[in-house]
Amino acid sequence: MLHRRAARWFADHGDVAEAIGHAIASGDGPLSGRLVAAHWRQPFNAGQLETVRMWLDALPAELVAADASLSAARVWVALDTGRLEEVGAALDTAETSVPPDTQLMVLRALQMYKAGDVGGAAARLREISPSAEDPFIATVHRLVQGISWMWLGDTGRAGELLVEAARRAEDDGNRLAYIYAEGCATPAVASVPRTRPAGPRWSPTSSCAPPTAAPRETGHDATGLFVTPGRVAGRNWHDCFDWQRRLRI
């Protein structure tokens, strides 16, 4: 009872990590699940993958599988640590346990890309229309589309999508995704008109990571795209993948 009350008090006062810790200690699975589902993205995007993984591991597996946000968290952590088999298993379970969910659909396409099915990933993404209410997923959607079309050889389409991804990432304050999109767009967008108003902004020529980047528990890839697709070879995108190497923080 004391841990449950502490969890609610800390949640009401904005200390999410303490709230989740007390909720898990209380053994209240539904409360813990609600808190993790609502708050895992911020520590994840700060590179605290181990923290998010520990929270998820403390929850009942059936609770994670039955919640789209928790399932997505499990998939993101697995993607960022290179465990593609775990990604597939988590997606398979979630897709049979929860209603259709845009984030899970985008993650399935990302898993296909990482496994080397670039054409399949591009086709899957064409069928998805992410909501503007979730700018993070909208950014990832455009990033995966752009990188897929880049590997498929359509530089014009790739450039347009990557420029849009950079714009969305910048508007959302997602600096790592912005730099990644700009870096990968560099070899593809020479002929794509840039309509963004001039002004202060992060650019690949000024920094490979913002100076305010948080300390990271492990190498973190906010979009899960730093690994070249498994069965694609013969493309010459050295500039893009040089940025991928430089952005491994």
Would you say residue 159 has pLDDT above 80? yes
Name the nearest CA neighbour of 182 among 195, 199, 198, 201: 201
In a domain, 48, yes or no: no
Residue 40 is assigned to a structural domain of this protein: no
Total domains in the chain come to: 1
Q: Is 68 inside any structural domain?
A: no
Domain extent for 129: 101-246
The tokens describing 60, both together, are: 């009942």
Are the beta carbons of 194 and 163 closer than 8 angstroms?
yes
Q: Pick the residue with more confidence: 224 or 41?
A: 41
Q: Report the SS3 class of residue 237.
A: coil
Inside any domain, residue 139: yes
pLDDT for 198-247, tens place per residue? 333 333 332 222 223 333 444 445 455 544 454 443 344 444 444 444 44
Answer yes or no: are the C-beta atoms of 23 and 7 closer than 8 Å: yes
Per-residue pLDDT at 80 exceeds 70: yes
- Read off the pLDDT of residues 49-67 as tens digits, 9 standing for 90 and up: 999 999 999 999 999 999 9
